[in-house]
């Protein structure tokens, strides 16, 4: 089995985000980390490797900061890591990013399974996974909360994926793109040995030429979406109106009256 | 190219989702501003024909109806292939899709197929100088981003559930229904749906008008019982904080927050939830927020409209009784 995990780096989920007047986004002192959703994808890849053997390659399109994500994945136990970047990749939307990732996966050639986290906690589009699946022509199995069956010899996978009404059970041939979600596993911590390995590891850099990508499909040129303005949401002023009756029953009745007056019931 | 607006109508077992009609209402508004028409794409299994008339009542001028077994259970491949085909033929300016799990898988697949852009999870969509400008939350709603698709067409948008009003259906509206055939035959579709396990407890979190949610303060799996009773009286969905899910008290499907679902109900009742920023990210756009917590310093009271500082195991049963009295 050759499993590829696509990942990216993001500010920590606790980061206090702000925007200056020029529209530059800042995450203060918070560190850049592996996108938290991607840890589920990495963990699932490692669990599958433990069960079926093979290798796990983690890839990321991004500037040097993307190494944070790759190092974390290596420290968790992935075998190989590849970064794909050149300056012209900047300002890629998911259309362009999915093109680059799909080209890189095609270059590897022998891939059985491509794993994604559900989304990245920065832009939260949820779009790169399904877009890569479409580009590769692989089945798209997003929001997977359980890999119910995997048959590397029979070349099939069965997953349970989350939809609003419940879990859809889907079988598909390999290779496939699986988007993982929380609940599929409990991501392991990095080990001391893993961190040391990650520190010593070589992180090959693939350029657009390396993956045979056309320049006009990458970066701003290859992107359809522009984001001209990023701003802080309006803050709601004031604190909660604290309801306090003589008894709990009276408190409850006062609240019910207020909610009926708000016409939300 | 036309100025028409396409809207994809999502259905589960033949039942349309509310997100579809919210998107249809938005499509109608945009088409009225442009002086153009709305086409609804209703692609499903046998027996979905009534949805065509329903789509017209929600604002469509025209319906493209595909009724075929390959389209019964949602799979992105046959839906995207057919949607891409009809869009190529009609060349609309805009395609709207509800930002549900299905919609957020379909939108980007369609964008790749048509080599255009898809802006995900929009909470507002307005014309500014003739250009459609979408607003969407990023970084868990800590920031907002305005996004545009300046050149490529169609412009695809997925619309956040409950961010746009669901219009009142008008059964006197008339429109034209055209049947279309699927593009992919069953043997050309790689994935097979072999089952569906419906979530117990009925109401889906994302669609819910009222959510009763419990956090660390519920103390254990059995602590959800009073919340379930309140939810039942209100016809509400049951939510949970990450702390409660991580403790194994309630399945992940119920989690609200940055690593769970983003919800926007009319009423969110937070019981024993302190209100960490990650939880707020998933529910801050709720219309009215009620917080019940023993700790008066809990951050949830900064976000809530109404608060009760007391033990949730006293307050929640009292609320259930008070609602029963009022609602009968």
Last residue of a domain, one of B136, B154, B188: B188
Whether the CB of B135 is below 8 Å from some CB of chain A: the reply is no
**B215 shares its domain with B253:** yes
**B165 shares its domain with B239:** no
Residues of A in contact with B277 (CB under 8 A): 14
Placement of tokens 């088409």 in the chain: B31
CATH number at residue A168: 3.40.50.620
Q: What is the C-alpha to C-alpha distance for residues B77 and B80, in angstroms, rounded to an integer?
A: 5
Nearest CA in chain A to B193: A170
Cβ pair A172:B191 closer than 8 A: yes
Return residues 153-172 of B near A (CB < 8 Å): none
Q: Which residues pair with A81 in a beta bridge?
A: A58
Over range B86-108, report the average pLDDT.
98
**B133 shares its domain with B224:** no
CATH number at residue B155: 3.40.50.620
Which of the four pLDDT bands, split at 50, 70 and 90, describes residue B1?
confident
Q: What is the C-alpha to C-alpha distance for residues A85 and A83, in angstroms, rounded to an integer?
A: 6
Q: Concatenated DSSP letters for chain A?
A: -EEEEE--EEE-TT---EE-TT--EE-TTPPEEE-HHHHHHHHHHHHHHHHH--EEEEEEESSGGGHHHHHHHHHHT-SEEEEE--GGGTT--HHHHHHHHHHHHHHH---SEEEE-S--TTT----HHHHHHHHHT--EEEEEEEEEEEETTTTEEEEEEEETTEEEEEEEESSEEEEE-TTS--PPPPPHHHHHHHHH----EE-HHHHT--GGGSHHHH-S-EEEEEEPPPPPPS--EE---SSHHHHHHHHHHHHHHTT--
- Among residues A201, A223, A222, A206, which one has the least CA distance to residue A85? A206
Asked if the structure places residue A249 within a domain, the reply is no
Cβ pair B147:A258 closer than 8 A: no
Q: What is the C-alpha to C-alpha distance for residues B146 and B33, in angstroms, rounded to an integer?
A: 20
Q: What is the C-alpha to C-alpha distance for residues B232 and B226, in angstroms, rounded to an integer?
A: 10
Asked if the structure places residue B193 within a domain, the reply is no
Q: How confident is the model at residue B258, as a pLDDT?
A: 87
Mean pLDDT of chain B: 96
- Among residues A204, A217, A209, A219, which one has the least CA distance to residue A87? A219
Asked if the structure places residue B183 within a domain, the reply is yes
What is the tally of structural domains in chain A? 1
Q: Is the ipTM of this complex over 0.85?
A: yes
Q: Do B30 and B122 form a contact (C-beta atoms < 8 A)?
A: no
Cβ pair A166:B252 closer than 8 A: no
Q: Do A38 and A69 form a contact (C-beta atoms < 8 A)?
A: yes
**B97 shares its domain with B158:** yes
**B153 shares its domain with B244:** no
Nearest CA in chain B to A38: B259
- Among residues B264, B175, B198, which one has the least CA distance to residue B13? B198
Q: Which domain holds residue A197?
A: 2-222
Q: What is the pLDDT of residues B161-200, one digit of tens each?
A: 999 999 999 999 999 999 999 999 999 999 999 999 987 6
Cβ pair A127:B266 closer than 8 A: no
CATH number at residue B267: 3.40.50.1220
Out of B120, B148, B314, the one facing A125 most closely (by C-beta) is B120
- Among residues A123, A122, A165, which one has the least CA distance to residue A143? A165
**B99 shares its domain with B36:** yes
pLDDT at residue B201 above 70? Answer: no
Cβ pair A124:B121 closer than 8 A: yes
Which of the four pLDDT bands, split at 50, 70 and 90, describes residue B97?
very high
Asked if the structure places residue B115 within a domain, the reply is yes
- Among residues B295, B316, B164, B298, which one has the least CA distance to residue B231? B316
**B170 shares its domain with B26:** yes
Q: What is the C-alpha to C-alpha distance for residues B62 and A158, in angstroms, rounded to an integer?
A: 38
How far does the CA of residue A62 sit from the closest CA of chain B (Å)? 18
Asked if the structure places residue A254 within a domain, the reply is no
- Longest distance between any two alpha carbons in chain A, whole Å: 74
Q: Are strands B62-67 and B176-179 parallel, antiparallel or unpaired?
A: parallel
Asked if the structure places residue B194 within a domain, the reply is no
Q: How confident is the model at residue B120, as a pLDDT?
A: 98
Distance of CA B43 to the CA centre of its chain: 18
Asked if the structure places residue B125 within a domain, the reply is yes
What is the tally of structural domains in chain B? 2
- Predicted confidence pLDDT, tens digits, chain A (265 residues): 999 999 999 999 888 899 998 889 999 999 999 999 999 999 999 999 999 999 999 999 999 999 999 999 999 999 999 999 999 999 999 999 999 999 999 999 999 999 999 999 999 999 999 999 999 999 999 999 999 999 999 999 999 999 999 999 999 999 999 999 999 999 999 999 999 999 999 999 999 999 999 999 999 999 999 999 999 988 776 789 999 999 999 999 999 999 999 999 8
Placement of tokens 């956040």 in the chain: B160
Q: Do B195 and B254 form a contact (C-beta atoms < 8 A)?
A: no
- Among residues A164, A251, A232, which one has the least CA distance to residue B290? A251
Placement of tokens 């970047």 in the chain: A85
Residue partners of B245: CB distance under 8 A and separation at least 6: B251, B252, B254, B255, B260
Which of the four pLDDT bands, split at 50, 70 and 90, describes residue B206?
confident
**B104 shares its domain with B182:** yes
Q: How confident is the model at residue B294, as a pLDDT?
A: 96
* Cβ neighbourhood burial of B270 (10 Å; 0-12, 13-18, 19+): buried
Cβ pair B193:A133 closer than 8 A: no
Asked if the structure places residue B200 within a domain, the reply is no
Neighbours of A264 (CB within 10 A): 18
Last residue of a domain, one of B126, B156, B188: B188
**B148 shares its domain with B226:** no
In order of A69, B107, B149, B275, the CA distances from A26 in angstroms are 19, 29, 25, 23
Asked if the structure places residue A260 within a domain, the reply is no
Whether the CB of A81 is below 8 Å from some CB of chain B: the reply is no
Return residues 6-65 of A near B (CB < 8 Å): 11, 13-17, 19, 25, 36-37
**B151 shares its domain with B35:** yes
Q: How confident is the model at residue B111, as a pLDDT?
A: 98
Neighbours of A27 (CB within 10 A): 18
- Angle formed by the axes of helices A36-52 and A67-76, nearest 10°: 40
- Among residues A89, A63, A103, which one has the least CA distance to residue A203? A63
**B122 shares its domain with B80:** yes
pTM: 0.94
Q: How confident is the model at residue A21, as a pLDDT?
A: 86
Q: Which residues pair with B159 in a beta bridge?
A: B98, B122
**B114 shares its domain with B79:** yes
Over range B227-251, report the average pLDDT.
95
Q: Which domain holds residue B225?
A: 210-327
Last residue of a domain, one of B156, B188, B220: B188
């Amino acid at each position: 089995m050759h499993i590829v995990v696509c990942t990216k780096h993001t500010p920590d989920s606790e980061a206090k985000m702000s925007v200056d007047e020029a529209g530059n986004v800042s995450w203060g002192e918070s560190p850049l980390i592996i996108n938290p959703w991607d840890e589920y994808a990495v963990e699932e890849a490692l669990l599958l490797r433990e069960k079926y053997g093979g290798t796990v390659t983690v890839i990321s399109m991004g500037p040097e900061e993307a190494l944070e994500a790759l190092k974390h994945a290596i420290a968790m136990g992935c075998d190989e890591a590849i970064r794909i970047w050149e300056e012209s990749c900047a300002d890629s939307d998911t259309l362009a990013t999915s093109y680059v990732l799909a080209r890189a996966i095609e270059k590897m050639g022998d891939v059985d399974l491509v794993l994604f986290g559900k989304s990245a906690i920065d832009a939260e589009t949820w779009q790169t996974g399904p877009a890569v699946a479409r580009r590769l022509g692989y089945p798209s199995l997003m929001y997977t909360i359980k890999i119910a069956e995997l048959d590397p010899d029979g070349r099939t996978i069965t997953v349970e994926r989350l939809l609003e009404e419940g879990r859809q059970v889907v079988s598909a041939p390999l290779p496939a793109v699986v988007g993982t979600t929380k609940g599929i596993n409990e991501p392991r911590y990095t080990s001391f040995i893993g961190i040391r390995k990650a520190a010593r590891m070589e992180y090959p850099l693939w350029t657009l030429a390396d993956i045979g990508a056309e320049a006009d499909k990458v970066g701003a040129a290859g992107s359809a979406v522009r984001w001209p303005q990023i701003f802080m949401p309006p803050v709601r002023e004031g604190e909660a109106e604290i309801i306090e009756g003589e008894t709990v029953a009276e408190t409850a009745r006062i609240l019910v009256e207020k909610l009926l007056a708000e016409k939300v019931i | 190219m036309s100025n028409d607006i396409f809207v994809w109508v999502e259905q589960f077992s033949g039942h349309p989702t509310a997100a579809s009609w919210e998107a249809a209402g938005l499509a109608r508004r945009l088409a009225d501003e442009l002086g153009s028409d709305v086409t609804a794409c209703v692609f499903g299994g046998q027996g979905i024909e009534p949805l065509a008339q329903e789509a017209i009542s929600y604002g469509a001028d025209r319906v493209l109806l595909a009724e075929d077994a390959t389209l019964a259970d949602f799979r992105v491949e046959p839906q995207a292939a057919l949607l891409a085909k009809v869009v190529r033929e009609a060349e609309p300016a805009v395609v709207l899709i509800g930002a549900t799990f299905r919609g957020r898988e379909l939108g980007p697949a369609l964008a790749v197929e048509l080599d255009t852009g898809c802006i995900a999870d929009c909470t507002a969509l307005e014309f500014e100088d003739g250009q459609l400008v979408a607003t969407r939350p990023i970084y868990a709603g800590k920031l907002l981003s305005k996004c545009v698709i300046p050149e490529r067409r169609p412009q695809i948008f997925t619309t956040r559930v409950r961010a746009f009003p669901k219009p009142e259906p008008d059964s006197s509206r008339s429109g034209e229904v055209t049947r279309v055939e699927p593009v992919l035959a069953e043997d050309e579709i790689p994935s097979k749906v072999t089952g569906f396990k419906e979530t117990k407890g009925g109401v889906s979190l994302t669609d819910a008008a009222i959510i009763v949610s419990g956090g660390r303060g519920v103390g254990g799996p059995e602590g959800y019982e009073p919340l379930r009773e309140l939810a039942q009286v209100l016809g509400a969905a049951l939510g949970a904080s990450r702390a409660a899910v991580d403790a194994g008290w309630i399945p992940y499907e119920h989690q609200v927050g940055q690593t769970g679902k983003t919800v926007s109900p009319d009423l969110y009742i937070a019981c024993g939830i302190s209100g960490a920023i990650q939880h707020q990210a998933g529910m801050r756009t709720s219309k009215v927020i009620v917080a019940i917590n023993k700790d008066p310093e809990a951050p949830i009271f900064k976000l809530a409209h109404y608060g009760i500082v007391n033990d949730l195991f006293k307050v929640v049963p009292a609320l259930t009784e008070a609602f029963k009295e009022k609602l009968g």
